[in-house]
Amino acid sequence: MLCKDCGANLVQNEKFCGNCGLATSSRKKLTNKLVGAIVCLTLVIVVVFGVRFLGQGSFDGENNAGLEETLALQGQEFNLDARSAPTPVLTIEPELMQPATPPIKKSPGLLIAGGRERGPLPEDVANYTGPMYTDHLNWIENSMQMQAGLENFYHLTGVRPHVYIVGEIDGNLEPSSAQVEEFAIGLYDELFTDEAHLLFVFFESGEWPDNITEVYALPGTQARSVMDREALKILVDYIEYYDSRFFNVGDVGMEQVFSYAFDDAAQRIMRRHPEHSGPIVEIEMEDGGIIQLELDRENAPITVDNFISLVSEGFYDGLTFHRVIPGFVIQGGCPLGVGTGGSGTTITGEFQSNGINNTIRHNRGVISMARASDPNSASSQFFITHENARFLDGDQAAFGRVTSGMDVVDRIAAVETDGEHPVGMSRPLEPVVIRTIRIIE
């Protein structure tokens, strides 16, 4: 296949031309699905940025090496979980904590945007237009969950998204790409009076396995300062990823696909790299394993300063990871080694339910503070998420993320314990000792 913009050969299933960055194609039917197995989804992505271009590519939930390579980030990964899960308090008293794990545990690594630093659009540039989606196919069963991810996207980027789900274009069940483009342009002018929106038209017609899916993304002229070509590709990758994964999961609606995709894409799009917003520290284990973390002073300055102060004092040297729940967390930093001790001082809990905005998500490899029921009771104990624990978002003070050494976290998570509550306290049968924690930069 040739790119119609520059004439270069396109790699099969590649969405974007390696020569000019653009790719063109007509829509592509969904590939055959295996009943009771992984479902392959092909989305034809039509994205408009400056000049309009088309892209195509299939995504195979069983063979997603290409996406995994694209989404690699220094050993970090994220997993899927239900936003509707209850929100327990991660306590410094393990006997009070009911362990919980995400219901879905499959994912590639996190995608990191390129070196470009993006700033959100100014507040209130995008006019309020009511709900952030229109659903003509009755896909969305949980409106609150759908809105949650779209609202988070808006909060982080300043770009107000609108997902428009439709089964025909002006009465046509098999429209051409030009007709979809024309429809989206007219729809943008009909729905919005500003240039700070991002319109996503999701078109699907026909019956499985021969249904046809097309997506048309149209950012307004102001929105394009944030939603550039790379940002749109990030969003598209997340939509394809979640759509593929969720096909095999019961009781999961399309609202989760859209909500997670927009939320996670915004996190990656707006993340600054390679600049750091806080210190880099290393946890050296007694067996020589190293876990390196990047702390986030921008989101949690009090928490980071408290942690750095304790590290500088050598407080953590010789302490243990006293609580290990595979698939959830490894927890350490208790001077008593049983989960009831602290440093003698407590700090303000930097999280949403305590009135402080903290946008770090509890994805796999995030470091966060343990606490009791008092929101301002965190002291020295911390935990690292072994898998996604997004139900903790807004109630725990996340303050950084693992940048290397998740293999060490995995090894710790695999140690034998006395069992989970109420059988045991998830304490390792053999001490998992922290030799030291040191500041790298």
- Kindly write down the DSSP assignment for every residue of 293-328, as one continuous string: EEE-TTT-HHHHHHHHHHHHHTTTTT-BEEEEETTT
Helix axes 254-269 and 143-157, enclosed angle (nearest 10): 10
Q: Name, of 25-34, 210-219, 382-391, the range with top average pLDDT.
A: 382-391
> Strand ranges (DSSP E) for 61-209?
133-135, 160-166, 197-205
**pLDDT, position 435:** 97
What residues does CATH 2.40.100.10 cover in the chain? 280-439
Strands 382-385 and 366-369: antiparallel
At 303, the pLDDT band (50, 70, 90 cuts) reads: very high
Q: What helix, strand, coil percent values describe the chain, rounded to 5? A: 25, 25, 55
At 211, the pLDDT band (50, 70, 90 cuts) reads: confident
Tell if the pTM clears 0.85, that is, is over it: no
CATH of the domain spanning 280-439: 2.40.100.10
Ranges of H-type helices in 116-176? 143-157
What is the 8-class DSSP label of residue 39?
P
Which neighbouring-strand residues pair with 29? Answer: 212
Phi-psi region of 340 (alpha: psi -120 to 50; beta: other; left: phi over 0): alpha
The burial class, CB within 10 Å (0-12 / 13-18 / 19+), for 219 is buried
Quick check: 418 and 388 in contact, CB under 8 A? no
127-154 pLDDT per residue, tens: 998 999 999 999 998 898 899 889 889 9
**pLDDT, position 271:** 66
The fold for domain 40-72+108-269 equals: Diaminopimelate Epimerase; Chain A, domain 1 (3.10.310)
94 has pLDDT over 60: no
More confident position, 100 or 121: 121
Mean pLDDT, the chain, rounded, equals 74
Quick check: 302 and 350 in contact, CB under 8 A? yes
Quick check: 213 and 44 in contact, CB under 8 A? yes
Range with the poorest average pLDDT among 39-48, 296-305, 430-439: 39-48
What residues does CATH 3.10.310.50 cover in the chain? 40-72+108-269
